[in-house]
Amino acid sequence: MTPFGTRLRAAMDTRGPLCVGIDPHSSLLAGWGLNDDVPGLERFAMTVVEALAGEVAVLKPQSAFFERFGSRGVAVLEKAVTAAREAGALVLMDAKRGDIGSTMAGYASAFLDKDSPLFSDALTVTPYLGYESLRPALDAAHVSGTGIFVVTLTSNPEGGEVQRATAADGQTVGQVMLGHIAAENGGAEPLGSVGAVVGATLADAGADLMINGPLLAPGIGAQGATPADLPAVFGPALRNVVPSASRSVLQAGPDAGALRKTAAQLADEVRIAVGQSG
């Protein structure tokens, strides 16, 4: 398969860089007039896929909101992932897996093996058992042409305990992770396949974000960030930012047309913010 970074760059350039989350938590289901059960989950997820998979560059299902329904919820997730990829969207599985050895390899197999029913174009992972604990997932992604997004700098207050702590060489732990990612992407063109998750709600990332890879920027919309905030946070790395919104788009449902319209308006705002022509 063509490397994820290449496919993502093409999708961002043609569809715009917006990522929309598929986050079927109970309040959104209620807002759509749906029951908080498996049929409601499936109606919600498949409506989002139908409305947006042919429009946006990336759809990002949040695995937890499907897993909470057990095996039947995971079955809905499998269906949504397959349908979204068939309609042309790249699927970023937001599962934030992080472990060591064979367990990390098992997570990688679940989401990055082309024969898995949950096969996705990319996976979010957490590196705070040490960057090299991610090696099984990084290797699996290289083999399958998929991507990895490493949770690096988040906007939740607790995140600073680890991410802003100082390593032995004087760098913050977050910056150490960014350095590892940059090394992973060395020489890749037009874009590396290992990305970082950096909150759009940060007033200033306070780090070197030139990693030659994508920067997933959650927090647009309901969490308070706007597309206009992106240049200040991401600076010279702005072209590689993948802004992510969930509730601010999803609350436009259940009408598929309203979802498409809301996503299109936000995508236009994002294009302007990152200096991309329409």
* Catalytic residue annotation: 96
Closest CA to 19 of 191, 149, 163, 175: 149
Report the phi/psi class of residue 219: left, alpha or beta, with left for phi > 0 and alpha for psi in -120 to 50: left
Report CA torsion sign: 11, 243, 119, 71.
negative
The phi and psi torsions of 154 (rounded to 5 degrees) equal -110, 165
Cis ω before 231 (30° cut-off from 0): no
Q: Which tokens is 211 given?
A: 């990693």
What tokens were used for 124?
């979010």
Backbone torsions φ then ψ of 216, nearest 5 degrees? -75, 125
Euclidean distance between CA atoms 93 and 122, whole angstroms:
6
